[in-house]
Amino acid sequence: MSNFPEFNTIEYLKNDIEMQKEYISELLRDYLENDNPEAFLSALKPLIELNGTISEFAEKTGINRTYFYKLFKKEVKPEFPTIVLIIKNLGFNIDFKLQQINL
């Protein structure tokens, strides 16, 4: 057993908008590269909780509260527009930059 304290994502991100932006950007990059929306949304849960309860956030987004709980339990796979809606309701915009890749 280690003596390290348990990492608390909410405390780490609390009151630091720049850190929240970096966190979401990195999660989104990972989601797009690895096509793992379930992990992405599970990782977004702390940011949602920073904005209140899941029920309050569900009401704000217009997404059914039960759907959020299913997302976090990885029982449903969200579509990209749902992910965009969640990010926007967290107060962030998504800005894509095109990059040329060598094929």
12 pLDDT higher than 70: no
End-to-end CA distance of the chain, in Å?
47
E strand intervals along 1-103: none
Q: What is the pTM of this model?
A: 0.69
pLDDT in tens, 33-88: 887 777 777 778 888 888 788 899 999 999 999 998 888 888 888 888 888 898 89
Under the banding of pLDDT at 50, 70 and 90, the label for residue 4 is: very low
pLDDT score at 95:
75
Under the banding of pLDDT at 50, 70 and 90, the label for residue 32 is: confident
Closest alpha carbon to 92 in 100, 82, 84: 84
